[in-house]
Chain A
Amino acid sequence: MDLRALSGAVALVGGLFALPASLWWSTTERHSAAAARVLRDLATPSDLIILSSRLSARPDPGGLMRPFGALATVVVDPAGTLPDLSTFPQPRFFLVGEGLDPVALGAPRRELREGGVVEATAPHAGELLVKRMESLVVSVEKDGAVQPCRPPHASGGVRCGKEGWQYVGPVVIKARDRLVACLWSHPVRDHTMHVDIPVTGVSRAALWLQYADDARGEPGRPPINVTTAVDGNTVEQKACSNAGDGRCALDTAIPTGARTLRLSLSTTDAARQLNCLGGELIP
Chain B
Amino acid sequence: MRPLLLTSSAAGGRPWALILLLVLLPLWNHPYFEELKSPNPLVRTYLTRALVDHHTVVLDKVEAEHGWVMDRAVREGHLYCDKAPGSSFLLVPVYAVMKALSSSGKVETQKLLAWGSVLLGVLPTFLALACLDSLLVLLMVTRAARRVALIAWGLGSVGVPFELLFFGHQLAACLVVFALWAAVHAARKSSFSWAMLAGFAGGWAAITEYPTTLLIGMVGLLGAGMAWRDSGGAPRAVVRLLLGMLVGSLVPLGLGMAYHQAAFGGPLTTGYAFIENPYFRSVHKKGLMGVSLPTLEGLGGTLFSPARGLFYFQPYLLLWPVGCVLLMRSRRAVEGWVLLLAGLLYISFAAGFGYWLGGWSLGPRHLVPAVPLFTLGFAVALHTLETTEKSPWPVLGAAVRGGVVWSVVVVGLACATHSGYPEELMHPFFQMTLPLLTAGLFPYSVGTLLGWKGFASAVVPLTALVLSALWAVFVGRAVTLGRASSLGRSAVTLWTAAALVLGMGLLVRATPEATHRLAWIIDTVWEPREGPKRPDPVKQAPGFSSRPVRQDERNHVGRHHARINEPARALEEYVRGVVAAEAGRP
Interfacial residues, chain A to chain B (CB-CB below 8 A): 1-2, 4-5, 7-9, 11-12, 14-16, 18-19, 21-23, 25-27, 46, 48, 53, 57-59, 61, 64-66, 72-77, 80-81, 83, 88-90, 130-131, 133-134, 152, 154-156, 170-174, 179, 181
Contacts and interface: CB of A to CB of B under 8 A. Distances in A.
A7 B514 contact: no
B571 interface: yes
30 contacts: A5-B484, A5-B487, A7-B488, A8-B483, A8-B491, A12-B487, A12-B490, A12-B494, A16-B494, A19-B494, A21-B498, A23-B434, A26-B434, A27-B435, A46-B578, A53-B564, A58-B508, A59-B430, A59-B434, A61-B434, A61-B435, A66-B519, A74-B563, A75-B567, A81-B568, A88-B571, A156-B580, A170-B576, A171-B575, A181-B575
B296 interface: no
Contacts of B280: none
B579 A131 contact: yes
Contact of A74 (B494, B501, B509, B570): B570
Nearest to A134: B583
Contact of A64 (B485, B488, B522, B565): B522
Nearest to A153: B542
A18 B571 contact: no
Given A1-B482, A16-B494, A22-B505, A172 B435 contact: no
Contacts of A53: 564
A133 B580 CA distance: 10
Contact of A65 (B479, B488, B510, B576): B510
A5 B485 CA distance: 8
A73 B515 CA distance: 12
Given A18-B495, A81-B568, 4 more contacts: A59-B434, A64-B519, A65-B435, A172-B575
Contact of A15 (B484, B491, B567, B571): B491
A140 to B, nearest CB: 22
Contacts of B482: 1, 5
B324 interface: no
A46 B579 CA distance: 11
B488 A8 contact: yes
Contacts of A5: 481-484, 487
B487 A179 contact: no
Which of B481, B510, B570, B576 has the largest count of A CB atoms less than 10 A from its CB?
A: B510
B493 A15 contact: yes
Which of B438, B439, B488, B492 has the largest count of A CB atoms less than 10 A from its CB?
A: B438
Nearest to A63: B435
A255 to B, nearest CB: 28
Contact of B498 (A1, A4, A19): A19
A138 to B, nearest CB: 14
A186 B80 CA distance: 49
A11 to B, nearest CB: 3
Contacts of B580: 156
Contact of A59 (B431, B492, B567): B431
B582 interface: yes
Given A65-B435, A74-B563, A9 B519 contact: no
A64 B498 contact: no
Contacts of B495: 11, 14-15, 18
Interface in B452-496: 469, 479, 481-488, 490-495
A19 B409 contact: yes
A89 B488 contact: no
Interface string B413-454: 000000000000000001100111111000000000000000
Given A5-B482, A23-B434, A65 B515 contact: yes
